[in-house]
Structure 1
Amino acid sequence: MGDTARRSSKTDRRGSIGNNAADADLAKLGYTAELPRSLSMLSVLGLSFAIMAVPYGLSTTMLISLTNGQSVTIIWGWVLVSLISLSIAASLAEICAVYPTAGGVYYWSAMMATKDYAKLASWVTGWMNLVGNWTVTLSINFGGAQLILSAISIWNEEWAPTAWQTVLCFWCVMLICFLINAFGSRYLDLINKVCIYWTAASVLIIMVTILTMSKTKRSGEFVFAHFDSSASGWPAGWYVRNPMTFHTYSPFFFLFRSFFVGLLQAAYTLTGYGLVASMCEEVQNPAREVPKAMVMSVAAAGVTGVIYLIPILFVLPDVSYLLAASSGQPIGLIFKQATGSAAGGFGLLFLLLGIMFFAGTGALTASSRCTYAFARDGAIPGSRWFGTTNKRLGIPLWGLVLSTVVDCLLGLIYFGSTAAFGSFTGVATICLSLAYGLPILVSVLRGRRMVKHSTYSLGRFGFVINGICLAWIVLAIVIFCMPVAIPVTATSMNYASVVFFGFVAISVAWYFIRGRKDFTGPPVIADAEPNLTGVAISDDEMGLDHSRSPEDRKLG
């Protein structure tokens, strides 16, 4: 007993010392620690893995890639986007190791920009990140509602849910995720860890079950080389006007427009890794653990996706049958056909529903922290409430409430468009891509000087990796505003651009109403260059401004 007590005491002291050091680093970055540091690296890894929710994300968006290219888009699109996402995650991890705060990307943009542009850079990045957090949570839980209702169609394939049934189910899912976050915050560490094991077990069970029970299997050629974009209506290639004749068109045969539109499936699934930066103030050693979790989660997600997708493609039923699914979610029918029974199909679907609740809960957790951090610096209306924490619950309660209410209201778009889910996934991917890209762009424009002391430095390859990230983000913004299929009607239109520019309008309006006068960005001098590697430097050298208290920053 004495040895156990001594070991426990040593562990507690080490944790306390780590927390004190992290809190001291946070103070140097201009903030007072207000949240308990109860999360480990494994927990943050689990949270990132939960938000990406690979089997669930790939399943709920499979209709997009089946419409736009099928096997080639599904498997090789996943590999391509996984590699690009790994580059983006590494670029963000490099910055996060220097600036580990809950403000995340918006704080990074402000710190790395020059003084003249720090305020604008933080405002734009922060709003893109905030909207991205809200809409990725929305898309996860809305897709979950559709998936829950699709379970009925496993037994009755003619049944289709009404708009009211879908929205009400979505609100119920949001309520459950809200309650878990509000009253079960002490268990978030455990929930995030369990998510890793649940997801791994689910992928293994699904893979073994469908491969052993399916009576028919596709050929290897179909799985790895089949491409068919006929269902999308998009032409096979990218066409440009011939500069010699000005009236004929030349196809770039190596680029398929439909293929790139179909990449939304992979790009949407692989977006959650950057959201965990919002948890930096709840991790014991955020400068080391959070960047590590970012990169590891993307690598693990990439491998998991390949393991999950290949068996699915081997047992894929007739594609026209899946595209005609009344529920809009074909994965349950795939499981039903593979197992040969509705009960077997539901059993496998149940595993995905479990992953969905992990993902929805984790996404709302990150969304509430992002809302809290941005409101803390007076960047959104009502900051005096949304930028506070609830001492009894140990969470930013009002930030959680706002995130939940905004998502529930956005769900009403479904009454006007049956393609709303595609729009939600599109706007989430666009906004998060922009939010991730802006601090990377600022870093490149500043010659990467601000990250030269990072413990996760990309070294000599930094400019190349950052350049690849930025090129992809520019392309993603364009292609993910395109409709999944043509011709386009009012109900099948991709409203991602409409939602995106709607939030841009709100951001611009609030900037002129309040932000232009009162918003000063994070409580730091923009040309600061913090060094959190253990070398003692003064606050003046770091450019830190402690003259503003947390209360001063709540401009509400």
Structure 2
Amino acid sequence: MGHSQQEILQIPEMDSGEKRLNELGYKQELRREMTLFKTLAISFSTMTLFTGITPLYGSSLLYAGPASLVWGWVVVSFFTWFVGIAMAEICSSFPTTGSLYFWAAHLAGPKWGPFASWCCAWLETIGLVAGIGTQAYAGSQTLQSIILLCTGTNKGGGYFAPKWLFLLMYKLDLLTYVCFGGLVIVIMLPLVARTTQSASYVFTKFDTSSELTGVSSKPYAVILSFLVSQYSLYGYDAAAHLTEETKDADKNGPIAILCSIGIISVFGWAYILALTFSIQDFSYLYDTSNETAGAFVPAQILYDAFHGRYGSSTGAIILLFIIWGSFFFGGLSITTSAARVVYALSRDKGIPFSSVWRKIHPKHKVPSNAVWLCASICILLGLPILKVNVVFTAITSICTIGWVGGYAVPIFARMVMSDKNFKAGPFYLGKARRPVCLVAFLWICYTCSVFLLPVYYPINWDTFNYAPVALGVVLGLIMLWWVLDARKWFRGPVRNIDIQNEKV
């Protein structure tokens, strides 16, 4: 009738992450096979070296010069650690794929939990889906520069991809994400450049270019120059999205979050320094008649370095391919995270047609329908490329506000909740959690605010940052849905096992 004692002893011990998942009311559905290294690799590639810095480097350098850009990275890295540490503690306690919105629901308590979960889930979804678009756009921009340099440069009759072709490349990048070395550049670029800027130029030069940006206020210019760092230093929550697929996720999830921040803080600064030291002629970088049509500052820096040394752009093209590959793999990683969030929210019936998006591929055990949904939305998001020149600014702002804004909800809830109601995991802050969470929350509020600001003056249809309008409409509809309907049935994460049945 029963099992012998020897047979019982042969039953493998349940993974600590799976055990905690069951305690929270979820059964294991996804394949739990990722090691700490794999989770760290995906988390790091989501906030990878090139994908954040490269597309915004030129505009941030222009606002207030090299010193503000270089030291801005240090300042933003410092505050990012507070956010990461706060999230690592929560991740250790709640190692679930739903991550942020699951955390918000449990930390906010039974009264406010459903609303907190609803807000967090949609902010996170908006941020992640827009994040896929930022990778595709920046990757297409890099590819546009590669084609231009391969066909003879802007001065030599090279082919500069028009808007319709740029949109096509954007769509192909997105479809490729569905279907399928930073160190080299940091070391090589300053060595190749025939001349390099002095340390005083890189670390102390402050100069606004108001004639190009329209921004005459120095404090405002500094704030805008920090945007590249604030856009680059997030995405470490990717480790949390993968916790249901990670071994010992209550321990390895927090480690992956903090290691990702540490690696990108160091290498991101090194990449910024490498680009800045290698500048040959600051004003020429933005000249629309230069070899890269003034469209992509990092591409011009690479071209100047290699062409100046070897009389050829081959080296620049190779390194641009490396950068493009970074956007490629970064896009894959963000798509992975976005699909997991859509799957988790669908599992809890928080998205229209949830039964479709929560389906798991029978063979590969991945939410394939959710992946296709994310890619389709991003394709629609990129259609204004044909008519509007500030699409990337808007997508970047939407991505950052949604993604980072989603962090604020569980962190605020953790800050105000009673510690006796919190079941700590292996990573626990103890009495330090309130000051850490307060600094993290205030920094997130500041970050979201500055991405709503205009980035060029005078404001017209070509320079208008339409992110506030887009976010206002989308979030307004989501809140209206909550008031009229969702509040009546949405209760946050839905348990899919009976904990009592799991007890021995």
- TM-score, normalization by structure 2: 0.90
CA distance in 1, matches of 2:294, 2:279: 18
* Match of residue 121 from structure 1: 116
Change (3 A) 1:275 1:409: same
- Match for residue 153 of structure 2? 156
Distance in 1 between the 2:375 and 2:500 partners? Answer: 30
Answering whether residue 30 of structure 2 is matched by residue 30 of structure 1, we say no
Aligned with 1:17: secondary structure?
coil
Query: Counterpart amino acid of 2:115?
Result: L
Question: Which residue of the partner structure matches residue 202 of structure 2?
Answer: 223
2: CA distance between counterparts of 1:377 and 1:490? 40
| Identity level (%) | 26
Question: SS of 1:417's equivalent?
Answer: coil
- Give the structure 2 partner of residue 130 of structure 1: 125
Aligned partner of 1:510 in structure 2 is 481
- Check 1:548–1:345 CA distance in 2 against 1; reply closer, same or farther (3 A cut): farther
Matched residues in 2 for 1:547 and 1:463: separation?
31
2:108–2:413 Cα contact (<8 Å) kept: yes
Deviation at 1:460, TM superposition (A): 3.2
Residue equivalent to 2:6: none
Equivalent residue, structure 2, for 1:369: 340
Aligned to 1:235: 216
Deviation at 1:516, TM superposition (A): 2.2
Task: Tell me how far apart the structure 2 counterparts of residues 427 and 53 of structure 1 sit (CA, whole Å).
Answer: 19
Shift of the 359–511 alpha-carbon distance from structure 1 to 2, 3 Å rule, reads: same
**Where in structure 2 are there 5+ consecutive unaligned residues?**
1-9
Mapped to 1, the partners of 2:454 and 2:287 lie a distance apart of 18
Match of 1:303 among 246, 266, 270: 266
From 426, 432, 447, the equivalent of 1:455 is: 426
Unaligned runs of 5+ in 1: 1-12, 181-201, 238-255, 525-543, 550-556
Match of 1:187 in 2: none
Deviations 1:253-285 (A, max 9, x none): xxx221112222111111110133111111111
Residue 547 to residue 90, structure 1, CA distance change in 2 (3 Å): closer
CA distance in 1 between partners of 2:473 and 2:243 (Å): 30
Contact kept in structure 1, 2:347 and 2:494, CA below 8 Å: no
Cα distance in 2 for partners of 1:18, 1:502 equals 46
Q: Is the 8 A contact 2:22 2:499 kept in 1?
A: no
Question: Aligned ranges for residues 9-408 of structure 1 at < 5 Å?
Answer: 17-19=13-15, 21-154=16-149, 155-157=152-154, 160-180=160-180, 202-230=181-209, 231-237=212-218, 256-325=219-288, 326=293, 328-340=295-307, 341-408=312-379
Q: Is the 8 A contact 2:132 2:174 kept in 1?
A: no
Offset of 1:218 from its aligned partner?
0.8
1:388 shift after superposition: 2.2
Question: Which residue in 2 is equivalent to 1:472?
Answer: 443
Moved more, 284-293 or 504-513: 504-513
Deviation at 1:337, TM superposition (A): 0.5
Match of residue 7 from structure 2? none
Kindly provide the CA deviation profile for residues 92-140 of structure 1, in whole angstroms up to 9, marking residues without a partner as x.
0100100110011101011011211111000001100111110111111
Aligned position for 1:188: none
Which sits farther off after the overlay, 156-165 or 415-424?
156-165
Amino acid at match of 1:171: K
Contact 1:56–1:356 (Cα < 8 Å) also in 2 = yes
State the one-letter code of the partner of 1:207: V
Residue deviations 1:459-496, cap 9 Å, x none? 33322221111111111122111122211221221122
Q: Which amino acid aligns with 2:355?
A: R
- Residues 215 and 221 in structure 2, CA contact (< 8 A), matched pair in contact too: yes
CA gap 1:29/1:260 in 2 versus in 1, 3 angstroms? same
> Which deviates more, 396-405 or 515-524?
515-524
1:259 partner amino acid: V
Q: TM-score, normalised by structure 1?
A: 0.82
Bigger mean CA deviation after superposition, 292-301 or 265-274: 265-274
Instruction: Tell me by how many angstroms 1:321 deviates.
Output: 2.1
Equivalent position SS for 1:39 = coil
Inter-partner Cα distance in structure 1 for 2:497 and 2:31: 24
Instruction: Map residues 436-447 of structure 1 onto 2, 5 A cutoff.
Output: 436-447=407-418
Deviates more, 1:493-502 or 1:216-225: 493-502
- The structure-2 alpha-carbon separation of the partners of 1:51 and 1:125, relative to structure 1 and needing over 3 Å to count, comes to same
Bigger shift: residues 493-502 or 352-361: 493-502
Decide which of 401, 422, 430 is 2:401's aligned counterpart: 430
Displacement after TM superposition at 1:18 (Å): 4.7
